[in-house]
Structure 1
């Protein structure tokens, strides 16, 4: 019986496997993925599939580090500049569309090149997952209808209710997620509602399958660097990052001001920075600065108008003047520093994902590590080694790559988020890092000092009342004695 089941699963896996090559270029932010992918596509005569959840939006070119027309060098790039700011592209939608593009490229004898920093997008194209096997049990149209219905149902759930809802549906997934990771919570709920299987159960199935490759061979070029991230942020600021972020926010806020007739600052407080394009690094980090310039009257005429937002040259000049004056200059410096911190954290998370999910031993997977730390030595340290690997693949004799780790045999136990509540500030934190950061913050220390002052004042008032009561009692006793 078990042998029959194994054979059936193996047969379903093979239905998704194609003996055609796939090239993937991945790495943390700022590692030169775009440059390498264009060079590879030019050499192979292929096309590029961008797997970046932010670059798919129109605009925001600086913040997302989107390849310019010159950098693309005439190579077709898919999934760039497709969505408006209020639209979204889910991972299953991306996967299904991208796989169709890859199929067309293979039919045209082209080699597809997948590049981007959203690594779960990359993984969805590299590997056959348990969700693929699940969907193969039903008609595609039926599966798509269920997925759409689940998305609509989950979208109606308030953010504050997501965590408790998931604890009821999939406790194992809820245990490894932060209660404020709304996007991930929604994704776990969508999987459960659309497939009838929990995400935690799917993960166990994927590990049992070993996530076999969709395309054989698959060559992966892993671009790494140890420095340059902070410098890259400074370059983005010099290119106009702040103006780009503020232009987007001004357009978004203006639309809501016109529709709801609320104050701009109130609209800002209602924006969700965990969905869509607002997830991009830069929006949350520069939000205090944006609030400051709005409170100082920037773009007042725009917000009062019902016409489409147009940030003109005069408005940009007014903004620049506000940014060189205090406290604008201080908030600008803090925003830039926070962008650097967020970028470094994001790069670290990307590297962790790559090691844990992409760099796993599988048949016909070849991974080549490229040191892109020094742009001046790019030709010798990046392109020439990549070119050798590509030529070997074309000769059907791929070069050995990195020694990869096997898939774990058991699901690692995720550490459940621990809630830390500051009753003084009336805030909750679900990670030790955020909790310690809050305890060390100036705002928290001010609250402590204020509480101590209030306690001292209350102690003095009580002592004064006690003294007055004692004097009154003494006076009363004296009156009685006299009588």
Structure 2
């Protein structure tokens, strides 16, 4: 995308892949090599104070590279993909306007898609949603599903739980369009290059376990306790984050530290598998070996 009367801007660079694969380090090193700035696309790193449990890059690890959209929200707030899309695109434009390269870094697949792809977000109407929820409570899901099959058979075939069926009907009611028409296509909003970190899954499994243990040693329980005092449980997004949900159980006396750590390891490994499935489905991503000694040079050449 270019601004009026200016030269076309260079492609946005996105560094993607599973948690624990080294995206943050590659983002910094790419920025140093290309004259760039990093934009965070990890939904949980928006939250102030969620540092240890999200493996948030430290000031020292940033090596002087400016980072955008880090520490922008309180834990009581709910992250919004639509808000992120607007903020991220504004940051990209601002970075490019200064002649720098915008480098998007993160493993939150939908957030990356929202930033890079043509993707609309239909609005919400609390009254419409409440009516649908009450209808579901009174008559069950079946009548709502039948109605969705009539107005949006594509969504009806894809969506199973009540929350999503209600959302699809809400969108149809307020926009007149089927919810499925808002699903993203693989069509870049502006020129972009995606670099994926290809991992050895067994090595990653062990690395994720070690990382959780380091988080515990670094004070994850104490971090969760501080955030609990700041209202962590009120935040729908933050309170369910990997590690935080598990260590809230420790604070409540429902689990010990060892059990919480093991549960976090299992959940993190499952999350990494889901990330790989998501990103592997995008044929536009150029995959590079996460442990290649020439990784930065190859990524810079691809960008």
TM-score scaled by length of structure 1: 0.52
> By how many angstroms is 1:90 displaced?
1.2
Contact 2:9 / 2:96 at 8 angstroms: preserved in 1? no
Query: Is 1:150 the equivalent of 2:75?
Result: no
**Residue 201 of structure 1, aligned match among 181, 198, 204:** 181
Deviation by residue 1:102-128 (Cα, 9 ceiling, x = unmatched): 122222221100001211111122222
- 1:171-320 pair list within 5 angstroms: 172-173=154-155, 175-177=157-159, 179=161, 188=168, 191-192=171-172, 195-203=175-183, 206-207=184-185, 211-226=186-201, 227=203, 228-252=207-231, 275-292=236-253
> By how many angstroms is 1:66 displaced?
0.8
The residue number in structure 2 matching 1:50 is 40
Q: Secondary structure at the match of 1:289?
A: helix
Contact 2:30 / 2:299 at 8 angstroms: preserved in 1? no
- 1:455-466 pair list within 5 angstroms: none
> By how many angstroms is 1:213 displaced?
2.1
Structure whose CA Rg is larger = 1
Q: 1:233 to 1:160 in 2, by over 3 A?
A: farther
Give 5+ residue unaligned stretches, structure 2.
1-7
The residue number in structure 2 matching 1:360 is 283
Q: Secondary structure at the match of 2:72?
A: coil
**Residue 333 of structure 1, aligned match among 248, 253, 258:** 258
Query: Is 1:369 the equivalent of 2:288?
Result: yes
Q: Secondary structure at the match of 1:86?
A: coil
Q: Secondary structure at the match of 1:66?
A: coil
Number of matched residues? 285
Give 5+ residue unaligned stretches, structure 1.
1-17, 133-145, 254-270, 294-327, 373-380, 394-483
Q: 1:250 to 1:346 in 2, by over 3 A?
A: same
Q: Secondary structure at the match of 1:386?
A: helix
Q: 1:389 to 1:371 in 2, by over 3 A?
A: closer
> By how many angstroms is 1:247 displaced?
2.4
Q: Pick 1 or 2: higher relative contact order, CA cutoff 8 A, min separation 6.
A: 2
